[in-house]
């Protein structure tokens, strides 16, 4: 294959991989490390500028004047740690086993198209997690039931508003409001020994743990722009959650 054509194809593929990692919730250093391993396996070097919305990548050979620069916009994020893990594993395979461009492309396509859990499975699993948190905070079985139902309905609202392409912060607000509203009914009717625990844990599924952790690791690695963007995103998410909870407490006049 002509070197310039191979360079263009490799750049486009590595951009796709970087975008997939960012969408799945990888921090910036993880993206750079994985891309550098893939590039090294193809005997290329990379230089990347990665932001929250786009990636600028230059691919080149040290012993050549040839280089290729491409820009790609990053689609909306959808956290998926199994994709991050699979791509990281594939990057080691590429550098240790000298994979060709075609082999890397085929492996990434397998990773991209792997089956995800159904929405119903996610709803049930996350709802059980909410009930479990309620139990940790001294809620009894009735409180756990309220937390389960509240989390289930709140996450269902989140999924439905996502399908309708609502703004992400509006989705978080509605989910927080509906989940806390359901849990607030448990307080009004004094369901269980500690109904307030169901209210506190019904919105935990919305907490932006990935964004806040990634912001911290990015700042530690001197990726200041991404770190600040992710911190701001996490802060906006927390404010949307708090607003939904505040309105519920205002409606029920809860302290």
- Give residue-wise pLDDT tens across range 216-252: 999 999 999 999 999 999 999 999 999 999 999 999 9
The predicted structure's pLDDT at residue 3: 63
The stretches in the chain having pLDDT less than 50 are 1
The predicted structure's pLDDT at residue 116: 85
What is the C-alpha separation between 46 and 38, in angstroms, rounded? 10
CA distances in angstroms from 191 to 102, 235, 252, listed in the order given: 60, 32, 15
The predicted structure's pLDDT at residue 2: 59
Query: Pick from 83, 80, 89, 12: which is nearest to 44 by CA?
Result: 12
User: In the 8-state DSSP scheme, what is residue 206?
Assistant: G
- Give residue-wise pLDDT tens across range 40-53: 999 899 999 999 88
Write the DSSP assignment of 56-112 as a string of letters. EEEEE-TTSS-EEEEEEEPPPP---HHHHHHHHHHHHHHHHTT--HHHHHHHHHHHH
**Whether 139 contacts 197, CB under 8 Å:** yes
The predicted structure's pLDDT at residue 220: 93
Task: Tell me the backbone φ, ψ of residue 116, rounded to 5 degrees.
Answer: -105, 165
The predicted structure's pLDDT at residue 6: 87
Tokens 């194809």, located at residue: 9
Residues in the chain: 255
Domain ranges of the chain: 3-112, 119-252
């Amino acid at each position: 294959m002509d070197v310039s054509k191979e360079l263009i194809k490799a750049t486009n593929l590595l951009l796709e991989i970087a975008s997939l990692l960012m969408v799945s919730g990888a921090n910036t250093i993880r993206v750079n490390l994985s891309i550098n391993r893939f590039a090294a396996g193809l005997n290329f070097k990379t230089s990347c500028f990665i932001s929250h919305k786009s990636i600028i990548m230059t691919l080149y050979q040290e012993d050549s004047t040839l280089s290729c620069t491409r820009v790609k916009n990053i689609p909306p994020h959808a956290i998926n740690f199994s994709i991050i893990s699979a791509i990281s594993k594939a990057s080691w395979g590429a550098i240790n086993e000298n994979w060709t461009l075609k082999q890397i492309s085929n492996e990434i396509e397998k990773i991209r198209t792997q089956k995800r859990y159904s929405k119903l499975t996610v709803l049930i699993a996350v709802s059980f997690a909410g009930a479990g948190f309620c139990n940790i905070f001294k809620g009894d079985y009735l409180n756990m039931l309220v937390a389960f139902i509240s989390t289930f309905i709140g996450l269902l609202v989140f999924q439905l508003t996502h399908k309708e392409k609502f703004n992400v912060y509006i989705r978080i607000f509605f989910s927080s409001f509906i989940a806390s509203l359901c849990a607030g009914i448990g307080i009004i009717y004094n369901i269980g020994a500690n109904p307030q625990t169901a209210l506190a844990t019904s919105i935990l599924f919305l907490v932006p743990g990935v964004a806040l952790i990634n912001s911290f690791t990015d700042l530690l690695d001197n990726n200041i722009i991404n770190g600040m963007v992710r911190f701001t995103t996490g802060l906006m998410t927390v404010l949307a959650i708090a607003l939904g909870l505040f309105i519920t407490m205002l409606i029920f006049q809860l302290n």
